[in-house]
Structure 1
Amino acid sequence: MNSIADNICAVRQQIAESAARCGRAPDSVRLLAVSKTRSADELRQACEAGQRAFGENYLQEALDKIEALKDLALEWHFIGPIQSNKTRPIAEHFDWVHSVDRIKVARRLSEQRPAGLPPLNVCLQVNISAEASKSGCLPDQVAELAREVASLPGLRLRGLMAIPEASGVPAEQRRPFAALRQLLEQLREELPQLDTLSMGMSGDMSAAIEEGATIVRIGTALFGPRDYSRPNP
């Protein structure tokens, strides 16, 4: 069985190869380790292998790990659905939020961001495949939401995030990633500061990178399969 360090090395190599195939520099794609359900000890091992950015879905679990690993210089990303009554601890403890999909949540995050911290980096989550089971705003709602979020003082709008419907056909897998890239390109005509496409996971990161991903969110390929018999924290 490979160690977490071996897996991180392998994934970084895969990122570099995917970037090279489409003429991109390897460092144009950041690796975000999706660490939901993983222990603080596993995250510490990943940190020892050079990984600094971690993505969490479950707030209380994340807060426990942030406290346990406060001796490390880590970057914390919240990537799960956001309940309005949970925005304060997210605003107080995270560096990034990838899952903003409505203005009410964005306003609360902005108002609750502590004055001593830099603006919270945020991505708008887009339901790019229009799946009924997925969170996110629809593509035709993105421009208006982006304008509103960009005006909030406690936030720094960085770009878009999506979790497209999975497909076993490479060309079909690339299609929603291309749609998200095109959506960002349109937004940049009005908001040129946008620089982030958070898209691609363990099973489809190459397709995402080929369509312009700047952050790939990888869990299973780093830590191994999750134990789904455990209840969500």
Structure 2
Amino acid sequence: MTDIALPESLAAARERLHVALENAGRPINDARLLAVSKTKPADMIRQAWQLGQREFGENYLQEALDKQAQLADLEGLVWHFIGPLQSNKTRAVAERFDWVHSVDRAKIARRLSEQRPTELPPLNVCIQVNMSGETSKSGVSLDELSQLASEIAGLPNLNLRGLMTIPAPTETLEAQRKPLAALREAFLQLKQAFPDAPLDTLSMGMSDDLEAAILEGATLVRLGTAIFGARGSASET
């Protein structure tokens, strides 16, 4: 467990988001806070839920499934899978999550659609875009984006909601904004190309670049350390 004071850290994260939205000239309800709870115990998620947080992001499947079992009594939890997704793990994600942010292959999208239980609403998905060209990171290139979006939009059990990126770290606000602005432009083009898709989500912005992301139109920001404290060791890679 961490000695972080969760009520204070969560309140500070919310205030930071609100200030960033105000400074960007946007309504304070124009972007949501996704609490990235990977490597954190279920008790911390429960405490955050008691403080009004409902959306949580997980990277490691087995760890997430264990937490979901421990927190099954809580109402209104919305689970986002935000880590790299392998083919052998799609079924559990399709069955147990509300969102997937890391779709970057048509094969993964098809498996998620096929394995989504029919009694559940369509799975909300974001396409992960590799804006920095880093070989160590997942994601499609901008050149590949339209083709993948077309394939996802045609799948019956998925809702294509938007785009996600994890850009390379940079030092200045101007440098942070550049790849995020390019993603925003790609998002706007995608909305024009697929008017029937419920495209409304730009998942970008983390602890180090939240302000830049809000300036460039982020609608969902992913904060982990700022809320829960320093990351613990992962139970799964």
Which TM-score applies when normalising by structure 2? 0.95
Q: Identify which of 141, 146, 155 aligns with 2:144.
A: 141
What is the SS of the residue equivalent to 2:110?
A: helix
Q: Which position in structure 1 is the counterpart of 2:111?
A: 108
1:231 Cα offset (Å)? 5.2
Which aligned runs of 4 or more in structure 1 are off by greater than 6 angstroms? Answer: none
1:2 Cα offset (Å)? 5.0
Aligned partners of 1:227 and 1:114: how far apart in 2? 33
Aligned partners of 2:107 and 2:44: how far apart in 1? 35
Deviations 1:197-230 (A, max 9, x none): 00011111111011000000100000111134x5
Say if 2:63 and 2:235, in contact at 8 Å, map to a contact too: no
Deviations 1:23-80 (A, max 9, x none): 1111111100000000000101111111000000000000000110011120000000
Aligned partners of 2:44 and 2:148: how far apart in 1? 37
Q: Identify which of 224, 227, 230 aligns with 2:229.
A: 224
Deviations 1:122-159 (A, max 9, x none): 00000011111110011100011001101100100000
Q: Which position in structure 2 is the counterpart of 1:51?
A: 53
Pairing 1:163-174 to 2, within 5 Å after superposition = 163-174=166-177
1:190 Cα offset (Å)? 1.3
Q: Which position in structure 2 is the counterpart of 1:125?
A: 128
Q: Which position in structure 1 is the counterpart of 2:219?
A: 214
Which TM-score applies when normalising by structure 1? 0.97
What is the SS of the residue equivalent to 1:28?
A: coil
Q: Which position in structure 1 is the counterpart of 2:9?
A: 7
What is the SS of the residue equivalent to 2:217?
A: coil
Q: Which position in structure 2 is the counterpart of 1:61?
A: 63
Of the two structures, which has the highest relative contact order with CA contacts closer than 8 Å and spacing of 6 or more? 2
- For residue 113 of structure 1, what is the amino acid of its counterpart? R
Among the aligned pairs, what percent are the same residue? 58
Say if 2:39 and 2:235, in contact at 8 Å, map to a contact too: no
1:85 Cα offset (Å)? 0.9
Do structure 1's residue 24 and structure 2's residue 29 form an aligned pair? no
- For residue 200 of structure 1, what is the amino acid of its counterpart? G
What is the SS of the residue equivalent to 1:97?
A: strand
Q: Which position in structure 2 is the counterpart of 1:195?
A: 200
Task: Report the RMSD for the aligned CA atoms in angstroms.
Answer: 1.1
Q: Which position in structure 2 is the counterpart of 1:156?
A: 159
Q: Give 5+ residue unaligned stretches, structure 1.
A: none
1:169 Cα offset (Å)? 1.1
Aligned partners of 2:107 and 2:52: how far apart in 1? 36
Aligned partners of 2:232 and 2:118: how far apart in 1? 39
Aligned partners of 2:235 and 2:141: how far apart in 1? 30
Q: Give 5+ residue unaligned stretches, structure 2.
A: none
What is the SS of the residue equivalent to 1:189?
A: helix
Aligned partners of 1:216 and 1:201: how far apart in 2? 6
Aligned partners of 2:187 and 2:25: how far apart in 1? 20
